[in-house]
Amino acid sequence: MNFFAALKETVRRNDSLVCVGLDPDLAKLPECVKKSTTPLFDFNKAIIDATKDYVCCYKPQAAYYAGQDRDDELKKTIAYIHENAPGIPVILDVKRGDIGSTASMYAKEVFERYEADAVTVNPYMGYDTLKPFLDRADKGVFILCRTSNPNSGDLQNLVADGKPLFQHVAELVRDSWNANGNAGIVVGATYPEELKMLRELCPELPFLVPGVGAQGGDVEKVVNFGCTAAKDGIAVNSSRGIIHAGNGEDFAEKSGAAAKALRDLINSFRK
């Protein structure tokens, strides 16, 4: 089953548009897991067990593993999801973008080494740098469009031919780069007007929407502006808001409750 079919299935089964970002910073983990030899994995495992009935997908951020020299725990985390939360797809958030020969190596990293089901990529270098990912029709490819961070407008809001740069990206994905039907775009929850405009431009395209929770995005607007006509088509990512919901022995239980609460809040606006 390809990524977007798997995602559709978990959206239905768990009645959820929640994506949990698995971004474990060792310094912020509960004391009870810090002493493990594989603290990131142990932490993730508990979070996955507690949240798997409330989510449509998981999104580990590669930097947290690479930056802490714990790549093996990323690999174990993804394998654990495949085994213990079967059917729930994994987006590996890497935001790669490089010349073709290099991009092919990154595609190997994401899809073979780590066995992820989908990836995030950066469009700045153009189509040939995304092609090694897009050519994998079984995998999902989310292309950065309008990102959630404070200075995302530095380039993304520059207006060319009467349209902001991020709109050019959305139209390239919609009209050209999505030939295999396996592409989506990343649109931050923190810019709801742009989210609305992009949904009008791309009525069916899957959106990965980071920025609720710690980054402050408004869930009601995300649902009202971001969903397709069928009231789905978005994966709403929360990382810190869910994984750091608690910091004691009961951290996993708290994260499960936070994931369920976000799911229910989102669903309250989908009715």
Q: Which of 60, 97, 217, 256 binds a second copy (CB under 8 A)?
A: 97
Q: Following DSSP, what letter does each residue of 37-64 receive, concatenated?
A: SSHHHHHHHHHHHHHTTS-SEEEEBHHH
One of 23, 42, 73, 232 touching a second copy (CB under 8 A): 23
Is 139 labeled as catalytic in the residue annotation?
Answer: no
Question: 189: closest CA among 234, 157, 140, 229?
Answer: 234
The DSSP output letter for 96 is E
Residues 135-174 that bind a second copy (CB under 8 A): 144, 147-156, 158-161, 165, 168-169, 172
Chain-centre distance for alpha carbon 76: 19
Number of separate helices (H) and strands (E) present in the chain: 13, 10
60 close to 80: Cβ distance less than 8 angstroms = no
The site string for a second copy over 46-65 (x = CB under 8 A, - otherwise) reads ---------------x-xx-
Name which position in 9, 15, 25, 171 contacts a second copy (CB under 8 A): 25
d(CA 52, CA 233): 19
Question: Which part of the chain contacts a second copy (CB under 8 A), choosing from 48-56, 119-127, 221-229, 251-259?
Answer: 119-127
Interface ranges with a second copy (CB under 8 A): 23, 25, 61, 63-64, 66-69, 71, 95-109, 113, 122-129, 144, 147-156, 158-161, 165, 168-169, 172, 215
Q: Which residues are catalytic?
A: 95
